[in-house]
A and B are shown apart, each in its own frame.
Chain A
Amino acid sequence: MKRHWQKIITLTLAIAMILSLAACGGSTATTAAPAATTTAAAAGGGETSAAAAGFDWKQQDGSKLRVMFNQHPYAEAIIQKIPDFTALTGIEVEYSLTPEENYFDKVTTALNSKSGDPDIFMTGAYQVWEYAPAGYVEDLSTYINDAGKTSPDYDFADFYPGIVGSLQWDLVAGHKTGSGPQWALPLGFEMYSLAYNKTVFADLGLTPPKTMEELKALLPKLKEFNGPGSYALAIRGSRNWATIHPGYMTTYASYGAQDFVVEGNKLVSKVNSPEAVAMTDEWVQMIKDGGAPSWSSYTWYQAGADLGAGKAAMLYDADCNGYFQNVEGASQEAGNIAWIPAPLPEGKSDIYSNMWTWAIAMNSSSKNKDAAWLFMQYFTSKEYTQWASVNAKVVDPARKSVFESADFQAVLDKAEGFAATFDAQIANTGIQFTPQPHFFETTTEWAATLQDIVGGKYKSTQEAMDALKKKMDDIVSDVEVG
């Protein structure tokens, strides 16, 4: 009898499950994502007039484009405006939205196949170091300088030089970014600074730190500031490149340390130089004295979420990370967050912030390059960027005119100190890494070493960095320079 019941129950469950699956409808295995059908037709993104000689938005009318997006607010903003783009140009757009974890694998294989699909893809700066040397990416400078292909209102000079320069590279390993072909155009970017809970600081009578020394002094005072479990400073620590490139690399560069130098025709790692070791020592001490106990599993989100939840008093990470937490209703501490520039190392007067940009690039195998260029200039134009920054959470915009516009500054008013911090750091913001094709492996090993130092594996930071240098040299041993 019991067995009879068992069978009935399990059968019912199975049928219910199958029915629920069928009801939800399956999605087909194409590149078009089901979630993409939402359209918020917000008016306001103005259209440029095609007045100048030779340029016409409709010059590729009837084309079809395929775009690959990473799942990110910047992409969601573009998707909202695609109908406007199609109305203006007559170009149809098909796109896919992929979570970041899988996104680049997908892009790499698509580019590798040289099929021309996608025409356009989102990318970061570091990925260009892999894609461009392989010949997957179209150089955009010819398009930018061609009056017949580019709208006269485009104003390339309006981009922050450090930001748009981060996507220029002459393909020589060891040569810094900033010159060479333009491989992609920025949709938005982030720099690294210190966000802190101003209410907590006011209550405890503390002043936000300007230097590493002041920061160090603050850590014990902020221990358990919000009850047991809370701590002073949230930073990333997971075992991959994302841990090295934000706050760590910013402070590293501000100490005057370099990741690689060119010696002869080889790349040589300098992570065991005196400045690098001193900086890493301070950093590790900071983690031990004021970081989260589970620091080594912290990602971008976990760090930001802790600030928003009132679990961390400060966040040394992307300026927009804290910004998203501060938006009204986004988190418990929304409205209580303020910004100051990253803490200065002893004796230094300038912060050299690293940066990350989400940009769009053109597939060199694309069969619709001119149409693709229209898409790219539209979604990096002044008008679109203005709308996106004010209405769609695109922070930080890569265009100076947009950042300084009254509308955007009004939005920023709710984020105390954000604009001032931005102004203080923007001049020296750029990619602090040395471009090379094994970027992701070297930084993963770097993160693993940091975890090992914090975990107490090495007798001294010097010993750890010496070991890391050897590993990094080995990884880049096959890279020819110049």
Chain B
Amino acid sequence: MFSENQSLLSRLIQNLLLIIYSIFALFPLFWMALITFKSDLQMFNTTFFFTPTLENYKAVLIGTDYIKTFIDNVIVSGGAVLVSVLAGVPAAYALARFNFKYKEDLAFTILSFKFAPEILVILPLFMIYQKLHLYDTYLGLIWVYQLITMPLLIWVVRGYFEDISVEVEQAAELDGYPWYSVFWKILLPLIKPGLVASALLAFIFAWNSFTFSLQLSGFNIQTVTVASLRYIASDTVHYGQMAVAATIAALPEVILALLIQKHLVRGLSFGAVKG
């Protein structure tokens, strides 16, 4: 789309604009990581140069139950993704391979779960969960999180299944493999990269979820998003600790994002766009 003979000025301006956006996008993350090492006393009067300290990390990791919060997040997000994979991959397969009545309707219904306002779900669910004793339980949260993880997993994995030509399966069946062997030994390995990437992306979105855990869990289980609110609203001046909470919460996802680079576009667009 760009001609080779662009003027130097034009290229410089383009680079400049990109640099501005990069600073905008990345500086906050850099700065936040930086002040995790700044002590409270130096917070007001120094900007970039100061004596680093680990006391903020100590205070948050040892002094509060933030680690438990972190682990809760892992359990709930991981559990949700696991359930979605177990139930969703077969569903994706069915949607990809079979023709049946109401197929597209079902597919779109599943997709519409993603668009449902979260508030719509949590208010009635709050009451129902209390009655079912699912309030503030791992199971309750994992179930609700399906609204986040299931549609993504089904739609994206469906796309991956469709990419595999039917001949592969038919060849295997001709060789005498039963259908479950075909599925397990042939199809799954083929879609594994895509499946793993989608699962990781779903994990990230579940990890970031706030509204569901705000209302449907309280104190036995707290996710990092809800716990971090504690630092925003509370009357402390421990900005360094706030930064530690934010950094710890954000770090896993940044790492995971690097791992799923190749399949990112497909995952984000629910299979609509092949990256």
Instruction: Give the interface segment out of A255-263, A298-306, A457-465, A470-478.
Output: A298-306
With A34-B62, A102-B230 as known contacts, state yes or no: A301 contacts B255, CB within 8 Å.
no
Q: Does B258 contact A (CB under 8 A)?
A: yes
Complex: how many Å from CA A65 to CA B246?
Answer: 35
Is the Cβ of B236 less than 8 Å from the Cβ of A28? Answer: no
Interface bits B235-275 vs A (CB < 8 Å: 1, else 0): 11100000000000001100100110100000000000000
Complex: how many Å from CA A9 to CA B257?
Answer: 13
A window 18-70: CB within 8 A of B: 21, 24-29, 33-35
Shortest Cβ gap from B60 to chain A (Å): 10
Is the Cβ of A100 less than 8 Å from the Cβ of B62? Answer: no
Q: Does B220 contact A (CB under 8 A)?
A: yes
Shortest Cβ gap from A248 to chain B (Å): 17
Q: Does A145 contact B (CB under 8 A)?
A: no
Complex: how many Å from CA A102 to CA B221?
Answer: 12
With A10-B255, A17-B255, A101-B230 as known contacts, state yes or no: A24 contacts B235, CB within 8 Å.
no
Complex: how many Å from CA A28 to CA B233?
Answer: 25
Shortest Cβ gap from B51 to chain A (Å): 17
Is the Cβ of B65 less than 8 Å from the Cβ of A29? Answer: yes
Is the Cβ of A99 less than 8 Å from the Cβ of B67? Answer: no
Is the Cβ of B67 less than 8 Å from the Cβ of A27? Answer: yes
Shortest Cβ gap from A67 to chain B (Å): 16
With A10-B258, A101-B233, A301-B237 as known contacts, state yes or no: A26 contacts B252, CB within 8 Å.
no
Is the Cβ of A14 less than 8 Å from the Cβ of B68? Answer: no
Q: Does A172 contact B (CB under 8 A)?
A: no
Interface bits A257-279 vs B (CB < 8 Å: 1, else 0): 00000000000000000000000
Query: With a CB–CB cut-off of 8 A, which chain B residues contact A102?
Result: 219, 222, 230
Shortest Cβ gap from A328 to chain B (Å): 13
Q: Does B193 contact A (CB under 8 A)?
A: no
With beta carbons under 8 angstroms apart, the residue of A14, A26, A109, A301 that contacts B67 is A26
Is the Cβ of A24 less than 8 Å from the Cβ of B67? Answer: yes
Q: Does B139 contact A (CB under 8 A)?
A: no
Shortest Cβ gap from A56 to chain B (Å): 37
Is the Cβ of A300 less than 8 Å from the Cβ of B230? Answer: no
Complex: how many Å from CA A109 to CA B259?
Answer: 41
Is the Cβ of A21 less than 8 Å from the Cβ of B62? Answer: no
Q: Does A13 contact B (CB under 8 A)?
A: yes
Is the Cβ of A29 less than 8 Å from the Cβ of B63? Answer: no
With A13-B255, A26-B71, A102-B230 as known contacts, state yes or no: A301 contacts B61, CB within 8 Å.
no
Is the Cβ of A21 less than 8 Å from the Cβ of B230? Answer: no
Q: Does A106 contact B (CB under 8 A)?
A: yes
Complex: how many Å from CA A361 to CA B237?
Answer: 29
Q: Does A105 contact B (CB under 8 A)?
A: yes
Query: With a CB–CB cut-off of 8 A, which chain A residues contact B255?
Result: 10, 13-14, 17
Is the Cβ of B70 less than 8 Å from the Cβ of A27? Answer: no
Is the Cβ of B68 less than 8 Å from the Cβ of A27? Answer: yes
Q: Does B165 contact A (CB under 8 A)?
A: no
Q: Does B64 contact A (CB under 8 A)?
A: yes
Is the Cβ of A100 less than 8 Å from the Cβ of B235? Answer: yes
Q: Does B24 contact A (CB under 8 A)?
A: no
Q: Which of B230, B235, B251 has the most CB of A within 10 A?
A: B235
Shortest Cβ gap from B242 to chain A (Å): 12
Query: With a CB–CB cut-off of 8 A, which chain B residues contact A100?
Result: 234-235
Q: Does A309 contact B (CB under 8 A)?
A: yes
Shortest Cβ gap from B71 to chain A (Å): 7
Shortest Cβ gap from A461 to chain B (Å): 28
Q: Which of A28, A99, A100, A109 has the most CB of B within 10 A?
A: A99
Query: With a CB–CB cut-off of 8 A, which chain A residues contact B218?
Result: 105-106, 109
Give the nearest-CB partner of B261 in chain A: A6
Interface bits B53-66 vs A (CB < 8 Å: 1, else 0): 00000000111110
A window 80-98: CB within 8 A of B: none
With A10-B255, A300-B235, A305-B237 as known contacts, state yes or no: A25 contacts B229, CB within 8 Å.
no
Give the nearest-CB partner of A108 in chain B: B218
Interface bits B31-75 vs A (CB < 8 Å: 1, else 0): 000000000000010000000000000000111110110110000
Is the Cβ of B235 less than 8 Å from the Cβ of A299? Answer: yes
Is the Cβ of B219 less than 8 Å from the Cβ of A101? Answer: no
Query: With a CB–CB cut-off of 8 A, which chain B residues contact A29?
Result: 65, 68, 220
Query: With a CB–CB cut-off of 8 A, which chain A residues contact B234?
Result: 99-101
Is the Cβ of B62 less than 8 Å from the Cβ of A35? Answer: yes
Query: With a CB–CB cut-off of 8 A, which chain B residues contact A299?
Result: 233, 235
With beta carbons under 8 angstroms apart, the residue of A6, A105, A301 that contacts B258 is A6
With beta carbons under 8 angstroms apart, the residue of A17, A35, A101, A105 that contacts B63 is A35
Complex: how many Å from CA A25 to CA B230?
Answer: 22
Is the Cβ of B230 less than 8 Å from the Cβ of A301? Answer: no
Query: With a CB–CB cut-off of 8 A, which chain B residues contact A99?
Result: 64, 230, 234, 236
Complex: how many Å from CA A301 to CA B222?
Answer: 25
Complex: how many Å from CA A224 to CA B62?
Answer: 42
Query: With a CB–CB cut-off of 8 A, which chain A residues contact B68?
Result: 26-29
Complex: how many Å from CA A14 to CA B64?
Answer: 23
Complex: how many Å from CA A146 to CA B255?
Answer: 63
With A10-B259, A13-B255, A300-B235 as known contacts, state yes or no: A34 contacts B229, CB within 8 Å.
no
Is the Cβ of A33 less than 8 Å from the Cβ of B61? Answer: no
List 29 A-B pairs, Cβ < 8 Å: A9-B258, A10-B259, A13-B255, A14-B255, A17-B251, A17-B255, A24-B61, A24-B67, A25-B62, A25-B67, A26-B71, A27-B65, A27-B68, A33-B64, A34-B63, A34-B65, A35-B63, A35-B64, A100-B234, A101-B229, A101-B230, A105-B218, A105-B219, A106-B219, A299-B233, A299-B235, A300-B235, A301-B235, A301-B236
A sample of 5 more A-B contacts (CB under 8 A), given A25-B62, A106-B219, is A6-B258, A10-B259, A29-B65, A99-B64, A105-B219
